[in-house]
Structure 1
Amino acid sequence: MIDTGRLRILHQVSLHGSFSRAATAMGLTASAISQQVAALERDVGTAVVIRTSKGVTLTAAGRLLVEAAETVTAELAATRQRIDRLAGGRTPLRIATFGSGGRALLPDALTALLAVHPELELTVLEREPEHSLPLVRDGSADLALTYTLGEPRPLTPGEQRRLIWAPLADDPMYAVLPRRHPLAGRTRLDLSELAGERWVLGCLKTEEHLRRYAAGVGVELDVAAATTDYFFAQALVRAGVGVSLIPRVALAESAEQAVVELGPYRLVRHVAAVTTRRAAALPHLVLLLKLLTGRPG
């Protein structure tokens, strides 16, 4: 028999990449984590992690066990949900979303959903994609709004057996300039034309990707300000602090800033909804996915 508690520990090790970080997340010691992983290896008769000075990586057997851990955890969460419905007559629906996507896509969809399913008890969590997807995998969230930058990133073969990735929208980035900027009157510009500008970043998570994108056209980002809020970033642009790249769903309406399309190459966020195949069969999730994707019926 494989101990499910040890599976859960291995899952946390895989998420955090080291015994010490997994221990911090679980409120345990690194020694206790190491001992439980070693016991799991004895249970299955093979190594499940490779230990290095920089942390740990999973072996092929370890990856299989982590996939099993996600399945077990999701099944237990689904069972807990069904028990809660029996006990209280309410149906919990937990959604994890990144901020700008949730603001643009969720309110109308949730209004329509609750009109049909008033029994739902909603919980909405603001999480970036690297945090929201694990919540869906382990059953802590029923659905996540997420995105990839650049090319769409498909699920791995193992994930495709359990998860559904439903594309929702392409969300291109636009150059946002102060109204008095010399290029403010343009309808389209190449990023290379902004070489030498100071920049305001509206999302710390995407800074590395933006730097690679800019470097591809010979632009080095000279960062004047970095925020986690696209609307604050645009306020700084209007104040003359610098220029910025802002996704379409987060563009503010203001006469004090100019919004200019980028070309010929556009940087695009590919927005999607992710849920498990099991959850996607529930009537309220079926409707929510239809509302988010704009499908009729």
Structure 2
Amino acid sequence: MLDSRQLRMFHEVVRSGSYSAAARSLGYTQPAISQQMRALERSVGTPLFTRSGRNLRLTEAGELLSRHAETILADLSAAAEQVAAIKHLALGRVRLCTFPSASATIVAAAVSRLRASNPGVRVELLEAEPPESLALLRGGDCDIALAFSYDAEAGVDHEGMTARPLLDDEMVVVLPADHPLARRRTLALAELADETWIAGCPRCRTTFVAACAAADFSPVISFTTDDNLAMQSLVVAGSGIAVMPGLVLSFLRHPGVVVRPLRPVVRRAVTAYTLADYQHIPAVGTMLGALRAASAESKAQRGGPRGSAKHK
């Protein structure tokens, strides 16, 4: 294995033509250079220099090493500069796995913040919902996973992960504008027992059904879809009413629906997860900071310390 310090000395000896000249250039003594060149020859297992009077001549092995030394040293220097750039956030990459409503809101705002402060940091986005997103984090396929969890859900194994709570997203009832209950300021779930429903993603649907059971009824579900705009369009078409995350309605809202707070409150917690060691990577730490700032801004815009949506 070549020693980079010895290789730099060797390169300087070749460039300057002697041990003493190399010593002066590098700030070493001439015996120190001689000692390191002997150590390098022992390492490669063959002489690198021969002497002709006071002149040094390269052996065949020395000529071969000399041809490679400049490239090797240039690559090492470039690598050191790039690592330093990553450390100081002039360069870097962060891989972020997120779910759709977060992508369109807090992630978009966080990426904008990061680009403004550290334009050399590249953000790569993956899209997956939990628990798949957390599995991707464990597998090393992303650096940060944004995930949501509901109040009533059983605990998920987060061993080895660091959790950064971002916001609480309150579920809301979505009704057609001409619905008889559209004038109400809030709606109790039990009051909606006779309604027909449009349900969302599997995890949202499971939580919704559990909440209905707690209110002593089993919902009649006519449609299920993961498409948030399709869900609202079905509501407008009179196919049923829906319960949706407030975060979705903050950026994607059909003009023909009204949104009302649900009682009792059902929330999902939005959290950024990373592996314990990843949080010390500069780009990851900076991205986590940008996500927290964007989430705080979203809470302020939507009203209330829990980030609940404003409703008209």
TM-score (norm 2): 0.62
Structure 2 counterpart of 1:285: 284
- Matches for 1:154-169 after TM superposition, within 5 Å: 156=157, 159=159, 162-169=160-167
Quote the offset at 1:171 in angstroms.
0.2
Structure 1 counterpart of 2:178: 180
The letter of the residue matching 1:98 is F
- 5+ residue gaps, structure 1, are 1-81
For residue 191 of structure 2, give the secondary structure of its aligned residue in structure 1.
Answer: helix
Structure 2 counterpart of 1:99: 100
Quote the offset at 1:140 in angstroms.
1.1
Structure 2 counterpart of 1:203: 201
Structure 2 counterpart of 1:170: 168
Task: Tell me, in whole angstroms, the C-alpha distance in 1 between the residues paired with 2:230 and 2:254.
Answer: 13
Task: Tell me, in whole angstroms, the C-alpha distance in 2 between the residues paired with 1:155 and 1:179.
Answer: 38
CA contact (8 A) 1:167 1:272 kept: yes
Structure 1 counterpart of 2:72: none
CA contact (8 A) 1:102 1:145 kept: no
Task: Tell me, in whole angstroms, the C-alpha distance in 2 between the residues paired with 1:195 and 1:154.
Answer: 29
- 5+ residue gaps, structure 2, are 1-78, 297-312
For residue 122 of structure 1, give the secondary structure of its aligned residue in structure 2.
Answer: strand
Cα shift readout 1:219-259 (whole Å, capped 9, x = no counterpart) = 21111111012222111111111000011111143442111
Percent of aligned pairs with the same amino acid = 30
Structure 1 counterpart of 2:71: none
Pick closer, same or farther for the CA change 1:254–1:140 going to 2, 3 Å: closer
Q: Which runs of 4+ in 1 moved over 4 A?
A: 151-156
Cα shift readout 1:100-125 (whole Å, capped 9, x = no counterpart) = 12211111110111223333332211
Pick closer, same or farther for the CA change 1:235–1:283 going to 2, 3 Å: same
For residue 146 of structure 1, give the secondary structure of its aligned residue in structure 2.
Answer: strand
The letter of the residue matching 1:135 is L
Pick closer, same or farther for the CA change 1:144–1:153 going to 2, 3 Å: farther
CA RMSD of aligned residues (A): 2.5
- Matches for 1:68-87 after TM superposition, within 5 Å: none
CA contact (8 A) 1:203 1:230 kept: no
Task: Tell me, in whole angstroms, the C-alpha distance in 2 between the residues paired with 1:152 and 1:212.
Answer: 10
TM-score (norm 1): 0.65
Paired residue total: 209
Structure 2 counterpart of 1:259: 259
For residue 183 of structure 1, give the secondary structure of its aligned residue in structure 2.
Answer: coil
Structure 2 counterpart of 1:123: 124
Pick closer, same or farther for the CA change 1:111–1:142 going to 2, 3 Å: same
Structure 1 counterpart of 2:17: none
